[in-house]
Amino acid sequence: MSTLPRKIALFGGTFDPVHLGHLHLATLAWEALGLDEVRFIPCKISPHKTGTHPASPEDRLKMLQLATADLPWAVVDDIELTSGTPNFSYRTAEEIQRQQPDAELYWIMGGDQWAALPRWKHPEKLAAIVQFIVLARDDAPAPREGFRFHLVHGEHPASATQIREAIAAGRSSDDLPRTVAAYIRDHGLYPFSPG
Ligand code: ATP
């Protein structure tokens, strides 16, 4: 008897912090495509990224583990945090393909990242490995020649930047899983940083 390939979707991001928008998109993708697994892959944060103080890789990983604890189909993978080289999504996908040669691989992203994809390193190499699952917002993402893609619909207003700014200003956010909000509070993450 032949078995269907495992459908694994890779979901990369800074997740600084993971919020309800990320979980919403992952859930939409899981439902729409009948995924077996969504793999959250936090990336290194460029030291040049300005703005509010970023959380450490360990804290971002821990918050992802807390946020996904009740989702049996969610996995948190530190592959990009532990690699000694810069993060390129096509390399991450190649490595996961090596680990899971029989799986059908997908890559989940918001419409903003779909628009930015031509500026990624070797998007065509990534497209050869994965099918894209893209969140459609008001402006529907356009198909790209040779890229297999699926649209999912359903916006969520959460923004990690706004959450960091709110916490730095001493406010709370409704867009965080309860356990993540408690972790941020207990560890004093996203303190006010002038400049
Ligand atoms: P920041 O505000 O720090 O840029 P972000 O949440 O937009 O944060 P990432 O953590 O890198 O940035 O996002 C990871 C992925 O989640 C991206 O593909 C992004 O498009 C998507 N995403 C971010 N916010 C939402 C949201 N509210 N709803 C659905 N998808 C989202």
C-alpha 128/C-alpha 121 separation (Å) is 13
C-alpha 124/C-alpha 139 separation (Å) is 23
Q: Is 1 a domain residue?
A: no
Q: Is 194 a domain residue?
A: no
Ligand 1 neighbour 26 (Cβ under 6 A): no
For all residues of the chain together, what is the average pLDDT?
93
How many A from CA of 1 to the centre of ligand 1? 40
Q: What is the average per-residue pLDDT within 158-177?
A: 96
How many A from CA of 156 to the centre of ligand 1? 10
Ligand 1 neighbour 141 (Cβ under 6 A): no
Within a 10 A sphere around the Cβ of 111, how many other Cβ atoms?
A: 17
Q: Is 93 a domain residue?
A: yes
pLDDT at 149: 93
Q: Is 157 a domain residue?
A: yes
Look up the domain containing 33 and give its range: 7-187
Q: Where residue 80 sits, what CATH number does that domain have? A: 3.40.50.620
Ligand 1 neighbour 39 (Cβ under 6 A): no
- 68-96 tens-digit pLDDT: 999 999 999 999 999 988 899 999 999 99
| Cβ-contact 98, 1 below 8 angstroms | no
- 38-70 tens-digit pLDDT: 999 999 986 655 566 799 999 999 999 999 999
How many A from CA of 193 to the centre of ligand 1? 22
pLDDT at 52: 64
- 124-155 tens-digit pLDDT: 999 999 999 999 876 778 888 899 999 999 88
User: Which residue, among 22, 48, 12, 66, has the nearest Cα to 189 in the 3D structure?
Assistant: 66
Question: Would the pLDDT of 2 be above 80?
Answer: no
pLDDT at 143: 85
Query: DSSP state, 15?
Result: -
Atom of ligand 1 nearest to the CA of 175: 27
How many A from CA of 13 to the centre of ligand 1? 7
Domain count, the chain: 1
Q: Is 70 a domain residue?
A: yes
Q: What is the average per-residue pLDDT within 104-130?
A: 95
pLDDT at 141: 80
| Cβ-contact 62, 34 below 8 angstroms | no
Cut 0.80: pTM above it: yes
